[in-house]
């Protein structure tokens, strides 16, 4: 049995995670932005937001194909 994957809720979840990591990155700044922790958290946020955008694009492409 094939299970339907819901892309839009997953996209919003990744977007929420990305925003949370951005908030945490802003809170971890200590004098300068160029420390390892801040850059790592910002990198994770970038990946999460990128995944969210990709999932939203796939969702609308699939919706457009169905008619």
Half-sphere exposure of 56 (CA within 13 A, CB side): 11
Helix and strand totals (H; E) in the chain: 2, 0
Question: What integer pLDDT is reported at residue 44 of this predicted model?
Answer: 97
Sign of CA dihedral 53, 55, 57, 63: negative
Cα separation of 57 and 42, whole Å? 23
Name which of 2-6, 11-15, 60-64 the model is least confident about. 2-6
Cα separation of 4 and 62, whole Å? 12
pLDDT in tens, 6-47: 899 999 999 999 999 999 999 988 888 889 999 999 999 999
């Amino acid at each position: 049995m094939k299970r339907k994957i819901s892309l839009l809720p997953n996209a919003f979840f990744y977007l929420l995670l990305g925003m949370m990591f951005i908030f945490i990155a802003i809170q971890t700044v200590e004098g300068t932005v160029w420390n390892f922790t801040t850059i790592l958290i910002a990198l994770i946020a970038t990946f999460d937001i990128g995944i969210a955008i990709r999932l939203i694009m796939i969702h609308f492409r699939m919706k457009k194909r169905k008619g």
